Each structure stands twice: as C-alpha cells, then as structure tokens.
Amino acid sequence: MPDVYDPLETAPRDDLAALQLDRLRWTVSQALRSPYYAKLLADLKLGPDSVASLADLRRFPFTDKKHLRDGYPYGLLAAPKDAVVRMHHSSGTTGMAIAVFHTRRDIEHWADLIARCLHMVGVRKGDVFQNMMTYGLFTGGLGLHYGAEKLGCFIIPTGAGNSHRQIQFMRIFDTTFIHIIPSYALALLGAFEEMGVDPRSLSLKLAVGGAEPYSEGIRERLQEAWGVPFYNCYGLSEMQGPGVAFECPEQQGLHLWEDSYLVEVIDPDTGEPKPDGEQGELVLTSLAREAMPLIRFRTRDLTSLITEPCPCGRTHRRLTRIEGRSDDMFIVRGVNIFPLQIERVLMSMPEVGRNYLIVVDRDGYVDRLTVRVELTADAFQGDLAQLRALQDKIAHALREEMMVTPRVELVEPGTLPRQEGKAIRVIDERKL
Ligand code: DLL
C-alpha cells in the first residue's frame, strides 16, 4: 500500500461509489440554489431524489461553457455572496468571460486535493517550492500554493517570467521542486545556457507541469535536460483549477480524484458514452464544490479512461495524457489536424529544438500549412544541402502522420516567439 496523504486514495471501489452517490445528491441539492440550475431542473422535474443510483446522472443535461458565459457573472453561483471568499476568471483566450467562485470550504477542499497530489509524488514538509505559474486570476499559481502550504513547504511565489532571477533563486534557496508550464520549462533552458548553469546541478528533485497539452516527447526532453521527473497535472478553472487529475510516480496516466469528481468520456458529436479505453471528450461533475457546483460539464478536452488498476495501489481511475481540446483541432484542405500530432512527430527527431509554430493561411483559395521549427544549435551548423534534406525529412514524416504536406521552415534556436503562460502553437490566419 502506498504512503497516502488521504486514506480515500486507496478506498475500495464500492466505498468510493457509495460516497459518490451521497455527494452527487448533495451536489444536485446545492446546484438548485443557483438561478441557472433552479430553473433548468425545475423545468425538467429533477432534484436530489431523482438520483437513486449513479446511473441516474445521465438523466441530467450537459452543462457547457456557453451556459456559464450566458449566466455571467452570477448565474451559476449557488452560495450567498457573503460566503464567497475568492474568484478566478478566464483569461479570455477563447473569447469567453467566465468567473468561478469559491467558498472557504471550496478553498480548503482544493488545498487538500493539491496536498494529496504533491504528497503522492514525494513532496514533504520542508521541501522548497518555487511556484513559476502565474498568480492571480489564473488558477495555476494560487492553486498549488495553498496545497503546498498545507504540506508545510517553504514557498517561493515567483510566478512566471523573469528567467534569470528564477535561476538565481533556485540556486540561492536550494529549490527542491517547481511548478511550471511545460513550454516555459523548455524556454528556461535557454536562460540556463546564457548563465552557464546546468539545471542538473541544482537541488531539484521533481517538477510539476500542466495547464497546456504536451506530448510524451516533450516530457522526455524536459526530464533529460532538467534531470528530474516531470509530473503531469490536469485541471480547469470551472472544476476548481489544477489538481483534478495528477500523475503518480508510475507516470502512466493521471489519477482523477473520484471522490471529488464524477467522470464520463463521451463522443463529442453524439454525446453518447464512449467505451472504456476509447478516446472522447471528458465530462466532469463536481462532487464537493459548494459555491459553483457543475453537473456534467463538457470540458472539450480529449482523453480516455484507463480502467486497469494502477500498480501504485490507488483505486482512482486514470486519464491518459490530454490530447488537446476538441476546439484546438483545425482543418486544412478537409483534413482534421490536432497540434499534438505535429508535436509528436517533431519531438521524435533529435535535430528539432525546443520550439515550433504552426501557421495556417490561404494561398488564393487553397489552405496552406506551414510548420516553423527551431533546430538545435548543432543541427543548425549543417550545410545547406544537409538542411534541405532535413527539411524534406520533417515534411515527409508530417505527411505520413496527417496526410497533408506542410511547408517546413527551419529557424535558429531561440528565434520563435515564446510565452510565459500557455504556449500558442497555432496561428490560423484564415480566421484573422
Ligand atoms: O489551466 C488549470 C491548471 C493550472 C492546470 C495549472 C494544471 C496546472 P484553465 O486556465 O481554466 O485552467 O484551462 C483549462 O487547460 O481544459 C485543458 O484544455 C488545458 N489543460 C490544463 N491542464 C492540462 C494538462 C488551468 N495537464 C484547460 N494537459 C483545460 C493538457 C491541460 N491540457
């Protein structure tokens, strides 16, 4: 049995199901306090008594981002305003203003879940935690902060950016773990080079990376360069933020905390459940959120459920690495493409460096796909014929993966734009 933070982590599945049923009924009664669900559920004649078993969840309709936006700001608030102690807010990257509220109890529960996640990968009292995620309306900074504090860590709340100072702090304060956006963790490697510091020479023992999709290839590169394991952390503001699902030391999928969330994987087109193990859209129902409970929330994130027990001994089922969002998909000459497909191909090539950018535009009426690829410093030294051959090799491998031949542009290391927040991988000029 693993050394757990919370005995619920290894609870027998039957006990978990009983707890879920209780909490689902509570969630429905709580949701009825919000204007949105009060009307919706009254119209449908649904309430806590409609839930005789967990299967009854399917009697409830899906909740969508659109419902949150239409009800903005307070339409889904299920607690009195004076019980709200904090809000987080969407960044607006998808153009939708969404506010998410928390009561004191919600913040406590969230901190406990994060403490559980961090404890699972070996964080303990006395660890020095440099939190390189943005603090503020984004949930990444404060979310991990409170959980780490609960464990008794020494926290350095640097937030994102200011790369040289990040590295100085890691050296001065002997940082033992970091929380960082994976694309920023790659970008920081450039700053290490500038300063002549080897990340492997630090006191780090692990890193937590999430908030954006990244391939196994990126993880491997990060682990190699930083010399520590990178654990994948998934979450979304609507469901609290980070810590909804988290990898254990096995690094074979993310345990979704089933005492706090009910999970479904559906076909995004029909809304019907997908068989276990098949990829589909993740739908979550909160089971412990007081200020803003959500029933059957469509995350738009694509993943699949691993039902085999995990060797770590935890009983909560796992999600496979999130492949991206259904709305990240773009269509080029009729072919559906996900950015992560391109990333996987690029990261399998040792000549490819730390950053890439996908640009889609039109040449007359025809879609054109360009992939700009940073090379490693070594690969860039090659002569023109070698670079041409490499360009062809990348274009060919991408064509094999997606059946569209892209233009491949090779660029020098460190020349593509970088963000400290979530990476922007695709620029679709057809939409501009
Ligand atoms: O990104 C919460 C978070 C912060 C998670 C820090 C992990 C670490 P939002 O800004 O609301 O919340 O964005 C949520 O980001 O629906 C996914 O599309 C994507 N996402 C989050 N974590 C992962 C991950 C935070 N590990 C949206 N892998 C989600 C892939 C992720 N995508």
Nearest atom in ligand 1 to 323's CA: 30
Cα–Cα distance, 276 to 263 (Å, whole number): 11
CA 382 / ligand 1 centre spacing (Å): 38
Question: Of the residues 178, 251, 301, which should be mutated to test ligand 1's pocket, given the most ligand atoms within 8 Å of the CB?
Answer: 301
Q: How many other C-beta atoms lie within 10 A of the C-beta of residue 193?
A: 14
Q: How many other C-beta atoms lie within 10 A of the C-beta of residue 30?
A: 21
294 closest CA partner among 21, 28, 22, 1: 28
CA 282 / ligand 1 centre spacing (Å): 13
Yes or no: say if 395 and 405 are a contact pair by the CB < 8 Å rule: yes
CA 255 / ligand 1 centre spacing (Å): 15
CA angle, 241 then 245 then 247, to 5°: 130
Nearest atom in ligand 1 to 237's CA: 11
Question: Of the residues 322, 323, 419, which should be mutated to test ligand 1's pocket, given the most ligand atoms within 8 Å of the CB?
Answer: 322
CA 212 / ligand 1 centre spacing (Å): 5
Nearest atom in ligand 1 to 244's CA: 5
CA 202 / ligand 1 centre spacing (Å): 28
Nearest atom in ligand 1 to 144's CA: 6
The alpha helices in 93-162, defined as continuous H runs, are 104-120, 139-151
CA 132 / ligand 1 centre spacing (Å): 15
CA 300 / ligand 1 centre spacing (Å): 11
> What pLDDT score was predicted for residue 418?
86
CA 48 / ligand 1 centre spacing (Å): 30
CA 301 / ligand 1 centre spacing (Å): 9
Cα–Cα distance, 199 to 192 (Å, whole number): 7
* Nearest CA owner, ligand 1 atom 28: 213
Cα–Cα distance, 246 to 234 (Å, whole number): 6
Question: Of the residues 236, 239, 282, which should be mutated to test ligand 1's pocket, given the most ligand atoms within 8 Å of the CB?
Answer: 236
CA 423 / ligand 1 centre spacing (Å): 12
Yes or no: say if 211 and 185 are a contact pair by the CB < 8 Å rule: no
Yes or no: say if 254 and 234 are a contact pair by the CB < 8 Å rule: yes
Q: How far is CA 10 from the centre of its chain?
A: 24
- Cβ neighbours of residue 331 closer than 8 Å, sequence gap 6 or more: 337, 367
Write down the pTM of the prediction.
0.96
DSSP for 158-212, please give it.
--S--HHHHHHHHHHTT--EEEE-HHHHHHHHHHHHHHT--GGGSS--EEEEESS
Both tokens of residue 284?
A: 């979550």
Nearest atom in ligand 1 to 91's CA: 10
Question: Of the residues 234, 246, 255, which should be mutated to test ligand 1's pocket, given the most ligand atoms within 8 Å of the CB?
Answer: 234
Nearest atom in ligand 1 to 325's CA: 18
In eight-state DSSP terms, residue 52 is S
* Nearest CA owner, ligand 1 atom 30: 213
CA angle, 86 then 90 then 94, to 5°: 170
User: At which residue do the structure tokens 């969404």 appear?
Assistant: 98
DSSP for 61-103, please give it.
PPB-HHHHHHTTTTTT--S-GGGEEEEEE---TTS---EEEEE
CA 234 / ligand 1 centre spacing (Å): 5
Cα–Cα distance, 32 to 117 (Å, whole number): 31
Cα–Cα distance, 200 to 403 (Å, whole number): 40
Per-residue pLDDT of the chain (432 residues; tens, 9 = 90+): 889 999 999 999 999 999 999 999 999 999 999 999 999 999 999 999 999 999 999 999 999 999 999 999 999 999 999 999 999 998 765 567 899 999 999 999 999 999 999 999 999 999 999 999 999 999 999 999 999 999 999 999 999 999 999 999 999 999 999 999 999 999 999 999 999 999 999 999 999 999 999 999 999 999 999 999 999 999 999 999 999 999 999 999 999 999 999 999 999 999 999 999 999 999 999 999 999 999 999 999 999 999 999 999 999 999 999 999 988 899 999 899 999 999 999 999 999 999 999 999 999 889 999 999 999 999 988 789 999 999 999 999 999 999 999 999 999 999 999 878 899 999 999 976
- Cβ neighbours of residue 137 closer than 8 Å, sequence gap 6 or more: 88, 89, 90, 91
| Protein residues with CB under 6 Å of any ligand 1 atom | 133, 138-140, 210-213, 232-237, 241-242, 299, 301, 322, 325
Cα–Cα distance, 130 to 204 (Å, whole number): 10
Q: Identify each DSSP E strand in 287-351 by its residue range.
A: 297-303, 305-306, 318-319, 330-332, 335-337
The pairing of strands 99-103 and 84-89 is antiparallel
